[in-house]
Amino acid sequence: MKKGIHPENYRTVVFKDMSNENMFLGKSCANTKDTVTYEDGNEYPLIKLDISNTSHPFYTGKMMLIDTAGRVDKFKKRFARHTSIKDAGAEAAGETK
């Protein structure tokens, strides 16, 4: 490996899957302000994950709907608006006949 290109500040942190609340220990140099007390009673920096091996469909074998930022609701609103425009156009065309 090349010298001087890898970070030196690796530390033990807790990774928490926010979709199913599963936590595990690992090492990371990512900055975080959050901390959590782990099962062993020690306090560690917390890194929040949207998805991990405990919630990913490839590893679990089942599909789960994970909506972390309201993406599904945003899509439904956009889709409903688009279909309402299409329906309004069809009604207008029906009225002119």
Q: Catalogue the long-range contacts made by 30-38 (C-beta closer than 8 Å, 24 or more residues apart).
A: 38/14
pLDDT at residue number 42: 93
Domain-by-domain residue ranges, the chain?
Answer: 1-63, 67-97
Write down the residue that tokens 């789960």 correspond to.
Answer: 64
**Closest-CA residue to 55 (of 47, 46, 64):** 64
Q: Which pLDDT tens digit goes with each residue over 80-90?
A: 877 766 666 66
Q: What is the pTM of this model?
A: 0.58
Three-state SS across 17-55? ECCCCCEEEEEECCCCCCEEECCCCCEEEEEEECCCCCC
Q: Which pLDDT tens digit goes with each residue over 51-89?
A: 777 776 665 667 655 555 666 777 777 778 777 666 666
